[in-house]
């Protein structure tokens, strides 16, 4: 019968590393040694002192040392000891990344999968349809950690702690991506009491982001375990910027349209660096918005439309874009940008609308209030018509195919009238009414099945 362990109780391990005995030399290696006056006599090395590991709830233990110092051996021994105690271990590097869109790899609901990817800094809808071999090295590392954390959360129960085994953690990544990955792991451990992590890495600098409970240094003749010191990470500096900077970040956002009527731009830069890592753009508000009545009752929804517009222009600004360079995601840059703007806002009230907002928490973390919005009436009308024609919302991701299905299933006049009605129902799309039905349909596909979330803040 398996022994059960309280998920929040400490896990104590005593690891006896094997003594290192040189392998028997070959004839050729002996011949080479004699050329340089070297002796290859085998000598039994003393076994290192036992290493005691205490994994408390949510703890990370960092194992450092040069290549060949024994980091992998220590992890292997710890892994066997944990399994002997019937404790589940997960190694991200050993997860099978099958050839499927990464959104399918979690075997979970759409919302759960998107949240997991967003938390790992993969909040790019264009990434969701990619397969693992189409991702960059940094993106695959984020994906593996996101999958490992997802599996760990599902496996962790009141009596089942889970330990992540991470060898050569972030070793092949550039410094910003490695730091972002470490920050992601630290936040996950903080949120999940049943999780622990044993992390081996050659990067001493990751202590800043991982904040391990203790560090095991294998570079000495005898191993040493010490409480980790955590020097502060580089501070983030946020300054006003020219809107022209938006061009450098625009391609990273899932909406291709440029923010209309921008009035303020902020850029985030890490101390000591010259290039910005994130940008926030503030724009003028639109005249109509479904969430304002619940956020600011009767303030902008009076019967006097001129008064409503005057108040909006004087009192409300909209955060139109928050974009962070991918290697620096999960470092809190987006939250810091929003929080900085709210503390120095142009107007008493601030709002934001985002399709990704329901899955990525930086607006809420910065202090904004979330409002889940119903689908706009014009969107729902067109969706209902397409559903009657057996065109499911997911098919709208392939507009050309969906258009041909719609033409086969619906009367031509019915389809054209529905598309014209959709286009003319909003100022944003009214100019499309004179375009071809196929062009209107292709444009509609980008928004009618996309639920949006609003966020508001009052000074």
Last residue of a domain, one of 227, 261, 278: 227
Instruction: Looking at the structure, tell me whether residues 116 and 174 fall in a common domain.
Output: yes
Residues spanned by the domain of 314: 236-366
Helix (H) or strand (E) holding 50: none
Instruction: Looking at the structure, tell me whether residues 195 and 290 fall in a common domain.
Output: no
Among 75-84, 196-205, 394-403, the minimum mean pLDDT is found in 196-205
Which is more confident, 202 or 290?
Answer: 290
Query: In Å, how far are 26, 27, 28, 29, 42 from 36, measured between CA atoms?
Result: 16, 15, 13, 11, 18
Is residue 38, in this structure, part of any structural domain at all? no
Max mean pLDDT among 26-30, 255-259, 455-459 falls in 455-459
Task: Give the span between the Cα atoms of 219 and 68, in whole angstroms.
Answer: 9
> Would you say 312 and 456 are in contact if contact means Cβ atoms under 8 Å apart?
no
Among left, alpha and beta (phi > 0; psi -120 to 50; other), residue 68 is left
Q: What are phi and psi of 281, to 5 degrees?
A: -120, 130
Last residue of a domain, one of 341, 366, 391: 366
Instruction: Looking at the structure, tell me whether residues 217 and 76 fall in a common domain.
Output: yes
Among 124-133, 225-234, 243-252, the minimum mean pLDDT is found in 225-234
Residue the block writes with tokens 């067109």: 382
Which is more confident, 383 or 450?
Answer: 383
Instruction: Looking at the structure, tell me whether residues 117 and 221 fall in a common domain.
Output: yes
Model confidence at 1, pLDDT cuts 50, 70, 90, reads: very low
Is residue 381, in this structure, part of any structural domain at all? yes
Residue by residue, DSSP assigns 283-344 as: EPPPS--TTHHHHSTTTS-SS-HHHHHHHHHHHEEEEEEEEE-GGGTTSSHHHHHHHHHHHT
Instruction: Looking at the structure, tell me whether residues 335 and 423 fall in a common domain.
Output: no
Is residue 304, in this structure, part of any structural domain at all? yes
Q: What is the mean pLDDT of the chain?
A: 87
> Would you say 350 and 457 are in contact if contact means Cβ atoms under 8 Å apart?
yes
Is residue 6, in this structure, part of any structural domain at all? no
Is residue 459, in this structure, part of any structural domain at all? no
Is the pLDDT reported for residue 67 higher than 90? no
The whole-number pLDDT of residue 305 equals: 93
Q: Which residues, 6 or more positions from 36, have their beta carbon under 8 angstroms from its beta carbon?
A: none
> Would you say 349 and 312 are in contact if contact means Cβ atoms under 8 Å apart?
no
Instruction: Looking at the structure, tell me whether residues 195 and 283 fall in a common domain.
Output: no
Reported residue count of the chain is: 459
- The C-alpha torsion from 104 through 109 and 114 to 119, rounded to 10°, is -110
Model confidence at 239, pLDDT cuts 50, 70, 90, reads: very high
The whole-number pLDDT of residue 43 equals: 59
Task: Give the span between the Cα atoms of 84 and 15, in whole angstroms.
Answer: 12
Mean of the pLDDT values across residues 355-373?
A: 88
Instruction: Looking at the structure, tell me whether residues 113 and 75 fall in a common domain.
Output: yes
Model confidence at 223, pLDDT cuts 50, 70, 90, reads: very low
Is the pLDDT reported for residue 232 higher than 70? no
Instruction: Looking at the structure, tell me whether residues 148 and 242 fall in a common domain.
Output: no
The whole-number pLDDT of residue 222 equals: 43
Tokens, residue 417: 């009238």
pTM, to two decimals: 0.78
Which is more confident, 234 or 99?
Answer: 99
Is residue 92, in this structure, part of any structural domain at all? yes
Bridge partners of residue 11, in order along the sequence: 55
Model confidence at 13, pLDDT cuts 50, 70, 90, reads: confident
Query: In Å, how far are 80, 365, 430 from 46, measured between CA atoms?
Result: 22, 53, 81
304-315 tens-digit pLDDT: 999 999 999 999
29-62 tens-digit pLDDT: 888 888 877 777 765 555 567 788 888 888 899 9
Last residue of a domain, one of 181, 204, 227: 227
Instruction: Looking at the structure, tell me whether residues 242 and 361 fall in a common domain.
Output: yes
Among 316-325, 339-348, 353-362, the minimum mean pLDDT is found in 353-362
């Amino acid at each position: 019968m398996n022994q059960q362990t309280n998920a929040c109780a400490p896990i104590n391990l005593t690891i006896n590393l094997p003594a290192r005995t040189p392998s028997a030399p070959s004839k050729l290696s002996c011949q080479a040694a004699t050329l340089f006056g070297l002796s290859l006599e085998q000598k039994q090395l003393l076994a290192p002192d036992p290493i005691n590991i205490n994994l408390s709830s949510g703890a990370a233990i960092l194992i450092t040392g040069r290549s060949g110092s024994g980091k992998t051996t220590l992890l292997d021994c710890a892994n066997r000891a944990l399994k002997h105690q019937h404790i589940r271990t997960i190694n991200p590097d050993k997860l099978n990344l099958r050839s499927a869109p990464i959104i399918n790899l979690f075997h979970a609901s759409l919302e759960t999968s998107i949240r997991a990817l967003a938390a790992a800094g993969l909040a790019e809808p264009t990434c969701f349809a990619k397969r693992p071999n189409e991702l960059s090295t940094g993106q695959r590392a984020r994906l593996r950690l996101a999958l490992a954390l997802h599996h760990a959360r599902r496996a962790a129960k009141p009596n089942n702690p889970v330990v992540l085994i991470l060898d050569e953690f972030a070793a092949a990544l550039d410094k910003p991506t490695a730091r972002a990955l470490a920050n992601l792991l630290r936040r996950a451990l903080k949120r999940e009491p049943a999780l622990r992590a044993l992390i081996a890495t050659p990067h001493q600098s990751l202590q800043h982001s991982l904040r391990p409970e203790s560090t095991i240094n294998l570079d000495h003749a005898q191993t040493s375990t010490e409480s980790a010191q955590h020097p502060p990470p580089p501070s983030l500096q946020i300054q006003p910027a020219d809107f022209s900077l938006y061009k450098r970040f625009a391609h990273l956002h899932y909406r291709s349209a440029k923010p209309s009527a921008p009035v303020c731009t902020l850029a985030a830069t890490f101390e000591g660096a010259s290039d910005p890592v994130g940008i926030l753009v503030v724009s003028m508000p639109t005249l109509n918005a479904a969430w304002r009545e619940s956020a600011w009752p009767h303030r902008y929804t009076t019967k006097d439309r001129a008064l409503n517009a005057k108040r909006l222009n004087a009192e409300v600004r909209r955060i139109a874009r928050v974009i962070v360079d991918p290697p620096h995601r999960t470092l809190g840059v987006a939250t810091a940008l929003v929080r900085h703007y709210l503390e120095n806002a142009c107007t008493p009230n601030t709002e934001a609308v985002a399709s990704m907002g329901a899955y990525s928490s930086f607006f809420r973390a910065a202090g904004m209030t979330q409002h889940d919005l119903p689908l706009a009436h014009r969107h729902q009308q067109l969706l209902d018509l397409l559903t009657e024609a057996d065109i499911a919302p997911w098919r709208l991701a392939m507009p050309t195919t969906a258009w041909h299905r719609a033409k086969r299933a619906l009367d031509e006049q019915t389809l054209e009238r529905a598309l014209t009605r959709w286009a003319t129902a909003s100022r944003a799309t009214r100019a499309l009414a004179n375009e071809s039905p196929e062009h209107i349909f292709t444009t509609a596909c980008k928004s009618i099945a996309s639920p949006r979330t609003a966020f508001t803040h009052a000074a």
